[in-house]
């Protein structure tokens, strides 16, 4: 084989290996980029799940507070308006709450003003139960 032919073959082989090396580097970079994207998606999902659990806990606590305030008002016989609790500014997911069995107590009222306040409290309690997080 002549030296020029051998040199040509070696240069062709070198060019093919360089092209393969560039392709492999590009593939490696793409895979590393995909790994970073997937890691970020996983972190986001973990935060979403954590936030959802926290929202559910908050909703449960608010519901319990409302129930305890209602019971306190029934026991004390006053119709003081319960203090409003802080609401999250904006929530992005919907949570489903288990419907709680409602307890109904019927009492005779002498004053119509008290009856209006109790009706208003019942409406507020109903609105609180209808609250959805979006």
SS3 annotation, 49-94: HHHHHHHHHHHHHHHHHHHHHHHHHHHHCCCCCCCCCCCCCCCCCC
Supply the mean pLDDT for the chain.
79
Q: What is the pTM of this model?
A: 0.46
CA distance 116 to 30: 68
Residue 66 has pLDDT above 70, yes or no: yes
68: its two tokens: 């305890």
**Mean pLDDT along residues 101-124:** 60
Q: Nearest 5 degrees, angle CA 41-CA 44-CA 48?
A: 135
Identify the top-confidence range among 3-12, 31-40, 121-130.
Answer: 31-40
């Amino acid at each position: 084989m002549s030296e020029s032919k051998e040199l040509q073959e070696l240069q062709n082989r070198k060019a093919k290996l360089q092209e393969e090396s560039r392709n492999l580097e590009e593939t490696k970079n793409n895979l590393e980029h995909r790994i970073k994207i997937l890691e970020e998606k996983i972190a986001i999902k973990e935060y979403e799940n954590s936030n959802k659990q926290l929202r559910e806990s908050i909703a449960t606590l608010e519901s319990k507070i409302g129930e305890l305030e209602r019971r306190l008002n029934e026991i004390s016989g006053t119709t003081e308006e319960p203090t409003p609790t802080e609401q999250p500014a904006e929530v992005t997911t919907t949570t489903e709450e288990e419907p709680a069995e409602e307890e109904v107590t019927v009492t005779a009222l002498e004053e119509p003003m008290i009856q209006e306040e109790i009706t208003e409290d019942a409406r507020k309690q109903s609105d609180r139960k209808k609250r959805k997080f979006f």
